[in-house]
A and B are shown apart, each in its own frame.
Chain A
Amino acid sequence: MSVEERPVVMPRSQLVYGEIVYWVTILAAIVCMIGPVISVKNVENNVMNPHYLFAGIFEGKNAETIWQEVGHYKKVVDGVETEVAGFPGGHFYFDNFSKGDGFTQFGLALGCSVAVWALIITSFCFLKEKNPLFFVLALWVAVLVTFSMIGVV
């Protein structure tokens, strides 16, 4: 182990990754603070009605049953918009952004995908630092998260 007395400068890649993750995490937390307020403000404007949601959770029902019993969303069936029960899919915030739980799910998804955005930008920093190996590795991890996000694997 070598011990030197000199100021240490962090590589740009490391700083960029840290800043993106930090600020996006804070943004996700703020979205998750506001989401439940929208949920309660207009209980009908939710995919899951909060009046029945927590009872279902604490009765030990599994996620599928809870979504089936409490969840309802609009779906186009044979060209006609119909209200159906059940789970609308993990990315349901796209179609339900103005709904309380849709907006909250957006906050969760934003936080849970932070590594993708941070790693993609960081990979280019690695390229600038002439580190092709970590350019590839950072993109590899970003691809793993992306595959997981879109349910490919």
Chain B
Amino acid sequence: MSRMFKSPWLEVNIMLAVLIISYIGIYLIGQGLETPPGGMSGTTIFAWLFGFFFLSFAIALVAVIGGIGGGVLFTPFMLAFTSVDSLIVRATGLIVAMFSGLVSTGPFMRGGLANLKICIFCAAAYGIGAFSGAQGAIYVAKYLGATGEGLVRISLGVILFSLAVYFIVGGKKLEWPEVKKVDGFTKWLKLGQPYYEVSLGKVIDYPLTRAGLVLGAIIGVGMLSGFFGLGAGWAIVPAQNLILCVPLKVAAANSGVLLGMGDCIAVWPYLLMGAIIPVFAAPWLVGQVLGGLLGALILIKVKAGFVRYLLIGFMFFACFGLLTKGLTMLGVIGKVPLWINGVVFVTIFALVIVSIVRYMKAEA
């Protein structure tokens, strides 16, 4: 039997078939719809739905190649360059972050790269933080109005800037952290889980430490994720790697599983207050699931380190957009003219191109 009829290609093909039939259906039905006064035409509805799916799919593919979570791209861009309400964006951003994690859970669990016990242990703390963050976001939206909208954008701009710098510098990470002493609490938890390391062709069993300390860090990370609707893999990975001493690859796999599990707690306050609008959020969800699966199957072996520079460039540009939009909303500055946005875009991407050329020369 062809591999196309075996898992995971079988489910990917089924999803692709349903997707194609669905969008052709929406297009054909949309063409025949009568547009009510003041309403949007059926073809425009199709265009939006397909556009959302396509963007989400592209974000998921690029995120797989660049090793950066989809939520980190979606939320800042939507907040910086569209007028969509920040709570709706952050709620949908959580869906994006969460489903990119959920779809990677199966393969990571099967392969043994992720450790379920560490994920459950961390989720117990992450969920509390993420839930509190989501409640905070709803509070800010209810009581701070336009000021809250501006402050959220500025805070996210500052976070995104720090994050982009962190991605450039690389941060301190240890492929194989060394554990000098295992504390009693960590030993009692028995979190370890041996896994087969393909690059070494061996089974690796790793000791862990400071499990109590990592709980505090993970609560903080959860709050950030829940409040801003960002995936927080960039913070979960170093927290596990540097505090708990989880090997880097395992920490990265755990972060996807943990986001999927923990954000199940954070996303519900948004769903229950109507900030997740079903027909708006659905194409983003589908794009993440299909893009994440296809990306993992086709593109994971593509060695395209330069994509990382491209993503960092996008992050800096989104950061500029967030800061200026936030300041405009607070009335500190006037509306930024389009040409200034253009100049900033060209400058950032000139630097990105230089970095990519340097990178490719170094690789050669």
For the complex of A and B, 9 pairs with smallest distance between CB atoms? A18-B109, A22-B106, A51-B39, A90-B272, A60-B83, A115-B264, A32-B282, A148-B268, A104-B278
The contact sample of 10 A-B pairs, CB cut-off 8 A, is A17-B116, A33-B18, A33-B22, A33-B282, A37-B29, A41-B29, A54-B48, A145-B265, A148-B265, A151-B272
Chain A proximity mask over B107-126: 1 for CB below 8 Å, otherwise 0: 11110101111001101100
Q: Are B120 and A138 in contact (CB under 8 A)?
A: yes
**Which residues on A are within 8 Å of B, measured CB to CB?**
1-8, 10-11, 13-15, 17-19, 21-23, 25-26, 28-30, 32-37, 39-41, 43, 46, 48-55, 57-64, 66-67, 87, 89-91, 100-102, 104-105, 107-109, 111-116, 119, 122, 131, 133-134, 137-138, 140-141, 144-145, 148-149, 151, 153
- List, in ascending order, chain B residues with CB within 8 A of A50's CB: 40, 45, 279
Report the Cα distance A131→B121, complex, angstroms.
13
Q: Are A33 and B279 in contact (CB under 8 A)?
A: no
Report the Cα distance A104→B195, complex, angstroms.
38
Shortest Cβ gap from B174 to chain A (Å): 12
- List, in ascending order, chain B residues with CB within 8 A of A119's CB: 120, 261
Report the Cα distance A148→B138, complex, angstroms.
14
Chain A proximity mask over B304-337: 1 for CB below 8 Å, otherwise 0: 0000000000000000000000000000000000
**Which residues on B are within 8 Å of A, measured CB to CB?**
11, 14-15, 18-19, 22, 25-26, 29-30, 33, 35-36, 38-40, 42, 44-46, 48-49, 82-85, 87-88, 91, 95, 98-99, 102-103, 105-110, 112, 114-117, 120-121, 123-124, 127-128, 131, 141, 176, 178-179, 189-190, 193-196, 200-207, 260-261, 264-269, 271-283, 285-286, 289-290
- List, in ascending order, chain A residues with CB within 8 A of B110's CB: 10, 15, 18-19
Q: Are B40 and A54 in contact (CB under 8 A)?
A: yes
- List, in ascending order, chain B residues with CB within 8 A of A131's CB: 190
- List, in ascending order, chain A residues with CB within 8 A of B106's CB: 18-19, 21-23, 25
Q: Are A10 and B26 in contact (CB under 8 A)?
A: no
Q: Are B203 and A8 in contact (CB under 8 A)?
A: yes
Q: Which residue of B lies closest to A137 (CB)?
A: B120
Q: Are B285 and A1 in contact (CB under 8 A)?
A: no
